[in-house]
Chain A
Amino acid sequence: AQSVAQPEDQVNVAEGNPLTVKCTYSVSGNPYLFWYVQYPNRGLQFLLKYITGDNLVKGSYGFEAEFNKSQTSFHLKKPSALVSDSALYFCAVSLMDSNYQLIWGAGTKLIIKP
Chain B
Amino acid sequence: DTEVTQTPKHLVMGMTNKKSLKCEQHMGHRAMYWYKQKAKKPPELMFVYSYEKLSINESVPSRFSPECPNSSLLNLHLHALQPEDSALYLCASSQLLVNEQFFGPGTRLTVL
Residues on A lying within 8 angstroms of B by beta carbon are 32, 34, 36, 41-46, 49, 88, 90, 92, 94, 96, 99-102, 104-107, 109
The verdict on A104 contacting B97 (CB below 8 Å), with A42-B105, A43-B106, A44-B103 known, is: no
Query: Are A43 and B97 interface neighbours, CB within 8 A?
Result: no
Residue contact A102 to B101, C-beta cutoff 8 Å: yes
- Please list the residues of chain B having a beta carbon within 8 angstroms of any beta carbon in chain A: 4, 6, 40-43, 45, 48, 55-56, 90, 92, 97-98, 100-106, 108
Q: How far is the CA of A41 from the CA of B92 in the complex (A)?
A: 16
Whether A100 pairs with B106 at a CB distance below 8 angstroms is no
C-alpha gap A99/B108 in the complex (Å): 28
Consensus secondary structure, chain A interface: strand
B56 lies within 8 A of A101 (CB): yes
- In the docked arrangement, what's the CA distance between A48 and B16, Å? 42
Contacts of A105 in B (CB 8 A): 42
Tell me, rounded to whole Å, the shortest Cβ–Cβ distance linking B99 to chain A.
Answer: 8
